[in-house]
Amino acid sequence: MDNEDAFQRFVDLQSYVGWSDDEQRLIAVARELVAPHVLALIDDFYAEIERHAATRNVITGGAAQIARLKQTLREWLLQLFDEPHSQQYVEQRRRVGLRHVQIGLPQIYTHAALARLRNGILRVLCENWAGEHRTLVEVVQAVNKLLDLDLAIIGDAYESERLDRLQHSERERSDAVFRDLVEAAGCMIVILRGGGEIAYFNSCAEQLTGHTADELKGRGFVDLIVAEADRSAQRTALAQALCGEYIRGFQNDIVCRDGSRRAMLWNVRRLDTYEVEPVVLAVGQDITNVKAAQTKALQAERLATIGQMSTGLAHESRNALQRIQASAEMLELEVENNPEAMKQLRSIQNAQDHMHRLFDEVRGYAGAITLDRSPCRVADVWHEAWELLATQRQGRAVELRECPTCADVRLSIDRFRMMQVFRNLLENALAACDDPACIEIDCGQEERHSPDDDTRPEIRDGWRITVRDNGPGMTAEQRKRAFEPFFTTKPKGTGLGMSIAQRIVEAHGGRIEIGQSNGAGTNVFIHLPHDDA
């Protein structure tokens, strides 16, 4: 309660007890009789305090403090009979109550102390009164009303301050319990003020996002954390929560400090007891891995369906494709002297090759990989893949460079499967490079390779084959998604080539990865375990 409200309450109390200007004049009469006895009343007041341990213990400053307190009480008594009842008068009375709370004096002693002063003042009036008894009764009644009003002001201030302190203490205790609970929670917990500013950010939220609570406190949650596409929906949800609606199962993406994204599932509701103004409590569960698992399961289901379907399509289409091939070969003899017709015929043959490749890739990805290993020179395998790309290289300025030591490297591998891997990598390099294109292949022994992903095999004492091109390189997002099924940067293609290559390499006990690019081409590393083939 502020001072203006306290004064208005005092005015209401005066009206309630029937205080009038006549009683104010009677108080002036009482002052003439009480003033000579003020010091005696004060001495008696503090002598009584000294006799009681509960009141004596709150006076810790010795004689000097008692002297100051006596002067304060003297001013208070004189104001009681002299001072017009202004806002300043009420403020001074309230300070008495506030001070008693600060020093820890129970309110019951305030009542007892004022009762002793009241008895002393009334005794002085009765002992020194020389007028009519009826007037004395009126003066006593006026003094009692005045003292009751003062006691009401002091008690109101005392109770208000005491309640404020209790509420503050309870709030601190509740906050401590709340923080203990949310810090132990394994989910992201954020408290937002009405404007969306962050008031609280738990440790799990710090770990998940990479941001610290100190750097985010007071800043806008939506613009800092929420993915741009989800911001409008997030603001709507927060506004609904502030209006009292309980938002459950709200999903969005957040952006972490390192730029990575996490999928979140939120429950959002208003809190009315955290601060003076209502705030919003948002509890977020990280469902990134769950969504990835669901996507993977759905993808596996789709791939199984695709595998079954592609097997049937390949079987049914084989005869048709063979007839197309036979007809194209016969037609080639008829039109070999017609350049335009030959051009169209090659387009038909390319389309047929593309259909064969499409069926092979889909069937190869969906089916199980069974290796047929045999000792062979690895260089012979990529040479075979290179020859298969003669059509793509035709008319282009393309060079394949090999490290001289590669020729002697022999491994026990599935020749056909590894040829698929090299064909895919070389074809991707050709598609990425403008002429003059240069593709380099290097093969060297490595003592140890520890992959970043703990779910991948660790390669010890193996070989690393590097396929490097002079194209524009890959972005971080392209490198991250390169092995995802159906992801492709080509205008044509299934997006399964790199995924199939990864499955083949891992079936050999190895690992394939794409190195970071500095804008000067792409490096693809194949790590294969050592063997004595």
Give 346-357 pLDDT, tens digit per residue: 778 777 776 776
The pLDDT averaged over each successive group of 10 residues in the chain (533 residues) is: 78 84 87 90 84 73 81 83 77 77 73 86 92 91 88 80 76 68 76 91 90 92 92 92 91 90 92 78 90 78 66 65 78 81 79 68 65 89 88 88 84 89 90 90 74 50 88 84 77 73 90 80 89 53
Query: Tokens for 343?
Result: 């051009």
d(CA 295, CA 303): 12
To which H or E segment does residue 189 belong? strand 188-192
Longest Cα separation, the chain: 149
Q: What pLDDT score was predicted for residue 532?
A: 47
Q: Any idea which residue has 């500095």 for tokens?
A: 518
d(CA 63, CA 367): 98
d(CA 110, CA 156): 12
493: left (phi over 0), alpha (psi -120 to 50) or beta: left
Among the residues of 187-287, which ranges form H helices? 203-209, 213-216, 221-225, 231-242
d(CA 266, CA 285): 6
Walk across the sheet containing 459-469 and list its strands: 398-402, 437-449, 459-469, 523-529, 511-514
DSSP E strand boundaries for 237-385: 247-255, 261-271, 279-286, 373-377
Contact (Cβ atoms closer than 8 angstroms) between residue 154 and residue 110 = yes
Report the candidate in 249, 40, 32 with the shortest Cα–Cα distance to residue 143: 32
To which H or E segment does residue 338 belong? none
Phi, psi of 463 (to 5 degrees): -120, 145
Q: What pLDDT score was predicted for residue 220?
A: 93
Phi, psi of 532 (to 5 degrees): -100, 25
326 by DSSP, 3-state: which? Answer: helix
395: left (phi over 0), alpha (psi -120 to 50) or beta: left
Q: Across the strands, what pairs with 463?
A: 445, 528
Q: Give every CB contact of residue 367 below 8 A, 6+ residues apart in sequence.
A: 307
Q: What pLDDT score was predicted for residue 183?
A: 65
d(CA 356, CA 353): 5
d(CA 157, CA 163): 10
Q: What is the CA radius of gyration of the chain?
A: 45
Among the residues of 367-403, which ranges form H helices? 378-388, 390-393
Report the candidate in 500, 506, 505, 525 with the shortest Cα–Cα distance to residue 515: 525
Q: Across the strands, what pairs with 190?
A: 201, 282
Q: Any idea which residue has 């290097």 for tokens?
A: 442
Query: Tokens for 508?
Result: 């050999």
Contact (Cβ atoms closer than 8 angstroms) between residue 38 and residue 78 = yes
